[in-house]
Amino acid sequence: MHLETPYPTLRWDIFCRVIDNFGDIGVCWRLACHLAQRGQSVRLWVDDASALGWMAPLGAPGVTVLAWTAPLNLTSITPGDVLVEAFGCQIDPDFIATYAYSIRARGTKCLWINLEYLSAEPFVERCHGLPSPVMSGPGIGLTKHFFYPGFTPRTGGLLREADLLKRQASFDRNAWLQRQGLNWQGERLVSLFCYEPAGLADLLERLAQDEQATCLLVTPGRAQAAVKAEILNKMRLQPSWNKRGKLSFLYLKKLSQADFDHLLWACDVNFVRGEDSLVRALWAGKPLVWQIYPQDDAAHAAKLAAFLDWLQAPPGLGYFHQHWNGLASSVASGEKPVFAPQDWQACVTQARARLLAQPDLTSQLLGFCSKSH
């Protein structure tokens, strides 16, 4: 798919380090693809591209993936027009020096974007778009600009494909589930993409006791390991915990980004983790629960609270998030939250509508670079 675009064609160098759990490369790959679909020339520099083998097995037209090695071999490389430094990954000084020389020789402006992490906290609106002059090193005299993804009109927005709604409308739920090996009989479908959430044991118990049958579609890796460990523990302590068979499991294989979207569209409730999957769950428009990446200084608690405030989450959904994430107030009380997705749907539907009314991140980034070029 190639879209008509009012923006000039620029050459982009996106730098990404894979820190943990593939969220960074997931966001960078989506961005690279969206830019290429709009006629841009994109190189994605990544220190570990192995996840793209299953995340994007077919690659993407207009996107070149390059190994970000140390030292970086710049013998035959000319830096592009735009540098994207994703999530504070710090581009190599030699590349910065070559970029600085190149744009000065061409007489073009510096387009150096510091793509930040997603947050709903108030500082995002204050800091989005701010310049950051480089005061030392090979880039001295250049200026970076902070670009913050976000949920409100005064931020950089969220990644969203131009044909997202069309693809959702044509999605065949039954056919996709059959391809995953599930002969769906109308039971409630719940996706699980998580780390090791504090509330997992309670969720499994709640679903096993529910009158409505549920199939839990579990993603590979840490989610499957956590579920299997919890089931073994329950069988040891209470062998009859799921004796009525109300809760069943489908252990999924690794999914491409497209099929991860399909998983979220197919399910009635989505448990997601990190940032990229949170955005995809919002676009899916189904009740969702987010496991935020834990931080040692507990900064994730404020980040989660800010998101729930923006979401206008009802109290029950807020409490469920606290418990799922093991935050002190819910754990200390000992009270188990109520799993009530029917009460959570309205706020997600309204939040999705607000987001759809705002420009997507790629459009905003192209507009920013076009005005600055």
Helices (H) and strands (E) counted in the chain, each on its own, are 15, 12
Q: Which two tokens stand for residue 296?
A: 């040692």
Can you tell me the distance from the alpha carbon of 307 to that of 122, in angstroms, rounded to the nearest whole number? 10
Taking the C-alpha atoms of residue 332 and residue 276, their distance in angstroms, rounded to an integer, is 30
The answer to whether residues 344 and 287 touch, using CB atoms and an 8 Å cutoff, is yes
Contact in structure between 25 and 57 (CB atoms under 8 Å): no
Q: Which two tokens stand for residue 329?
A: 């107030």
**Residue 161 a catalytic site member:** no
Across the beta sheet with 214-218, the strand order is 247-251, 214-218, 188-192, 269-273, 288-291
**Which of 13, 85, 116, 275 is an active site residue?**
275
From the list 24, 116, 161, 360, the catalytic residue is 24
Distance CA(149)–CA(365), nearest Å, equals: 10
Q: Which amino acid is at 246?
A: K
Tokens of 56: 């994007």
Instruction: Measure the CA–CA gap between 85 and 274, rounded to whole angstroms.
Output: 19
The yes-or-no answer on residue 163 being catalytic is no
Which residues are tagged catalytic? 24, 275
